[in-house]
Amino acid sequence: MATDELRIWALGEERDVEAVPSVAGVNLEDILEETLVRRPEMLEAGLHLVGRQTPTEGGPLDLLGVDAGGRLVVYELKREKLTREAVTQCIDYAAALSARTPAQIGELISDHSGQRGVGKIEDFEAWYQEWFAENELSDLLPPRLVLVGLGVDERAEQMARFLHDGGIDISVLTFFGFHLEGRTLLARQIEIDREGAAAGRRTTGQSAAERRLALDSRLTEKGLAVLFGEVASTLRAALPDSTQRAGSWGISFSLASGGGRRRFCHLWVAEVGVRLEWFPHPESYDVAALGTLKSDAERCGWRPTNLGYAFDIPDEAMWNGYREGVDQFIVTARESWNPMPTDAAESFRERVWSYLRSVPSGKVVTYGQVAKGLGVPEAAQAVGGALRALPDETDVPWHRVVRVGGELNATENREQRRRLEDEGVSFDGDDLVDLEEYQWRE
């Protein structure tokens, strides 16, 4: 719809037809951006806005979001018709973000959220883990691109469609305003839909070979190929039965767990050197063994993170001095791993259920709050697993657990809402629980 203006007609009771007048451009410019910030679902369902005018190497980024699948979304918003310059600018922003590690993007969002109508996210990694428990932080990338404007010219649409048809996840939205009986109406037109690629065309998801090439290129660029290779070789020797998955920023090592695979550790390309992160899943270890491993990790120089424990290796000299200790820790953690974690899982589930029984009626807790209350702040995902393991008939008040923003469970939200309302909990206009009023404080 690069050349045709969107029009609306009102049908009267006597079948008369009246054209609805469009809003003058300057008036719509004044209200569009603020409206989209207040109601991000007008851009797409399930969108979380996490930044506005976020600084990047290419300049301040208009809007930054995370979609329902956990992917980063770059929005280039123009208060006029989209031109070829808007396409170029959006690519520049996305390229600048893609040059960062997922952890660096998280720090950028944490540092600059909470401004101009966008909610504050103190710890992005923890926020992401609670919203997208099944994802890794690396699933943020590559970012999607969305152009938003008051129409689009022919050249800009041609450029965007060329990128889209070539596999780039780019879409174009245009908005039009109308006056009707004292109200301003907004109409959204999807000019290029991200789901509209021809069958068989590649998506933006990288293949294993592409991820490996991207990782090798990044290691070569940073001069870390030798160091990364040595640490990876040590991990492979210590974890001979692991499954390894290469990403563009590192390698995940997973072990057998309950008939599937569960991530044991991850080797990252860091801003300086490389980083090894171990994930102490409470379901995969005996409680006593896990406590000993955590103590050993901190004594040996591993630092706690939101998801586990990290060991930073800035250069080969440090690695040569700590290699033996890291190797021994990984071997010990591997030997303590329970591939069929029934006892540990059952013990953890019982602790979750017991904790929830102590939450009073009319109050709610978040997944992360439960995990922290049990002394395992990295286990928010496991709390969800404990709730899913509940029998149909139970006295555990599962409905009192909400997400970090006050959102309800995606699959049981109607029943959950009914039960909470019966206990006196009310919801705001966005169907969220006000945590300031209803969150339980121990």
What is the domain range of residue 65? 9-192
Sort strands 183-192 and 170-180 into parallel, antiparallel or unpaired.
Answer: antiparallel
Check whether residue 286 and residue 406 sit in a common domain.
Answer: no
Q: Please give the single-letter amino acid code of residue 42.
A: M
Is the predicted pLDDT of residue 261 greater than 80, yes or no? no
Overall domain count for the chain? 3
| Mean pLDDT, the chain, whole residue set | 84
Position 202 pLDDT exceeds 50: no
60 plus 153 within the same structural domain: yes
Give the pLDDT confidence score for residue 404 in this predicted structure: 87
Between 386 and 258, the higher pLDDT residue: 386
**CATH code at position 118:** 3.40.1350.10
- Judge if the upstream peptide bond of residue 360 is cis by omega within 30 degrees of 0: no
201 part of a folded domain: no
Q: What are the φ/ψ torsions at residue 103 (nearest 5 degrees)?
A: -65, -40
What is the predicted pLDDT for the residue at 410? 64
140 and 20 inside one domain: yes
pLDDT reported for residue 203 = 38
- Is 200 a member of any domain? no
Please write the tens of the pLDDT for every residue from 21-47.
776 544 566 678 888 999 999 998 889
Domain ends where: 336, 355, 387? 336
The string over 317-337, giving b where at least 16 C-beta atoms fall within 10 Å of a residue's C-beta and e elsewhere, is eebeeeeeebeebbeebbebb
Q: Do 32 and 65 have their domain in common?
A: yes
State the Cα–Cα distance between residues 188 and 314, nearest whole angstrom: 49
| Residue 303, pLDDT score | 92
Task: Assess contact for 352 and 368: CB atoms under 8 A.
Answer: no
Task: For residue 180, tell me if it sits in a domain.
Answer: yes
Whether residues 52 and 179 fall in one domain: yes
Q: Does 219 share its domain with 298?
A: yes
pLDDT digits (tens, 9 = 90+) for 58-94: 889 999 999 887 889 999 998 788 999 999 999 999 9
Cα 48 to Cα 96, 127, 128, distances in angstroms: 20, 11, 11
Tally of CB atoms within 10 A around 350: 11
Q: Note the pLDDT tens digit of each residue in 101-122.
A: 988 999 999 999 998 899 999 8
Identify the pLDDT of residue 207.
Answer: 41
Is pLDDT larger for residue 416 or for residue 186? 416
Q: Which of 36-40, 50-54, 203-207, 221-225 has the lowest mean pLDDT?
A: 203-207
| pTM as predicted | 0.47
User: Which amino acid, residue 182?
Assistant: G
Q: How do residues 289-307 score in pLDDT, each as one tens digit?
A: 888 999 999 999 999 987 7
> Does residue 412 lie in a domain region?
yes
Please state, in angstroms and rounded to a whole number, the distance separating the CA atoms of residues 26 and 24: 6
328 within some domain? yes
Lowest mean pLDDT among 10-19, 68-77, 372-381, 416-425: 10-19
Same domain, 239 and 370: no
The domain that holds 357 is classified in CATH as: 1.10.10.10
d(C-alpha 215, C-alpha 286), whole Å: 35
Q: Are 139 and 239 within one domain?
A: no
In a domain, 318, yes or no: yes
